[in-house]
Amino acid sequence: MHHRKAAVLVAAFIFGTPVAAQVGNDSGIQTETQRRLAHGQDDETIWNVIGMLGLLGLFGLRRPSDNDGYTDDPI
């Protein structure tokens, strides 16, 4: 039985084709990302830095644990 499962998985990997992540854009209108990449603009850096600082701020929400490893933490 395991050999059949393995054979089916191998066949799926060999004969399966990857699915497109997005539908093609045949209208000729560029998406915002395509426009930004074409112009070489990088206006997102400041937002990436602000987001990273916000994620670092989440470390302040952690409470110290007095768990000795043998018991569960109280909720």
11-54 pLDDT tens trace:
887 877 776 666 666 777 888 878 877 877 667 788 888 989 98
Backbone angles phi, psi at 60, to 5 degrees: -70, -15
pTM of the predicted structure, to 2 decimals = 0.35
The CB density around residue 36, as the number of other CB atoms within 10 Å, is 14
Check residue 73 and give its pLDDT.
Answer: 66
Identify the residue with better confidence: 15 or 6. Answer: 6
What type of residue sits at position 57?
Answer: G
